[in-house]
Chain A
Amino acid sequence: NAGVTQTPKFQVLKTGQSMTLQCAQDMNHEYMSWYRQDPGMGLRLIHYSVGAGITDQGEVPNGYNVSRSTTEDFPLRLLSAAPSQTSVYFCASSSTSTGEQFFGPGTRLTVL
């Protein structure tokens, strides 16, 4: 099993550009989520999904969109990047039975 994979590892954007951060898991987990990590702020939940076709907002959803068309994939879209979105983004997945959450390696995003 590859676990949770994220692409790209690094990305630099200009203000106003759009992009999609990819996340995939091969553990057949129902739950997937996106967090951003900023210095001194810990991990803050952006969006999450309890299964294909179902998504919900977390603590800091503004400026981000998600969709969940398959169990395996949970992409995060930035429609118009802003410098405030400079951060490290982590995708995670978990099963309903254990609740243990597995994290991907992260994407470091810089918005100029």
Chain B
Amino acid sequence: GENVEQHPSTLSVQEGDSAVIKCTYSDSASNYFPWYKQELGKGPQLIIDIRSNVGEKKDQRIAVTLNKTAKHFSLHITETQPEDSAVYFCAAKGWNQAGTALIFGKGTTLSVSS
């Protein structure tokens, strides 16, 4: 089955700096790669996603890149703000006999200090 590795586990940046979180996946059949943000006491919320037919996707200060050959994808946050502080999870959509399931990385705790 699918396995997703996420690095780093913690990341501290100054306000205005950029932050990059990287993930690798194992199943070459995976074709959907979302990123979730989880604030304290809440459920994860989708912030951006990318499909395997696209190499890069951008939404304002957030971008995701995908390298299918190397089986890794990354989240880029530019001009970070204190409200970006949260836990970020990457995921890959794997396939099995019955259907599909999202497999998550272990998460990155991002701290943005002002």
Q: What bracket does the count of chain B residues touching chain A fall in? A: 20 to 34
With A42-B89, A43-B89 known to touch, is A33 a contact of B102 (CB < 8 Å)?
yes
Within 8 Å CB of B45, what residues of A? 103
Q: Nearest chain-A residue to B105 (Cβ)?
A: A42
Question: B49 near A43 (CB under 8 angstroms)?
Answer: no
- Indicate whether A101 reaches chain B with its CB closer than 8 angstroms: yes
Within 8 Å CB of B46, what residues of A? 100-102
Question: A90 near B34 (CB under 8 angstroms)?
Answer: no
Q: What bracket does the count of chain A residues touching chain B fall in? A: 20 to 34
Least Cβ–Cβ distance between B57 and chain A, in angstroms: 14
Question: B105 near A103 (CB under 8 angstroms)?
Answer: no
- Indicate whether B20 reaches chain A with its CB closer than 8 angstroms: no
Per CB-CB distance, the 3 closest pairs between chain A and chain B, nearest first, are A103-B43, A50-B99, A42-B106
Say whether chain B's binding surface is mostly helix, strand, loop, or mixed: strand
Question: A42 near B99 (CB under 8 angstroms)?
Answer: no
Q: Nearest chain-A residue to B103 (Cβ)?
A: A45
Q: Nearest chain-A residue to B46 (Cβ)?
A: A100
Least Cβ–Cβ distance between B49 and chain A, in angstroms: 7
Question: A56 near B98 (CB under 8 angstroms)?
Answer: yes
Question: A33 near B106 (CB under 8 angstroms)?
Answer: no
- Indicate whether A31 reaches chain B with its CB closer than 8 angstroms: yes
Specify which of A42, A48, A50, A104 is in contact with B43 (CB 8 Å cutoff): A104
- Indicate whether B60 reaches chain A with its CB closer than 8 angstroms: no
Q: Which residues, 59 to 89 on A, are CB-close (under 8 Å) to B?
A: 59
Within 8 Å CB of B105, what residues of A? 42
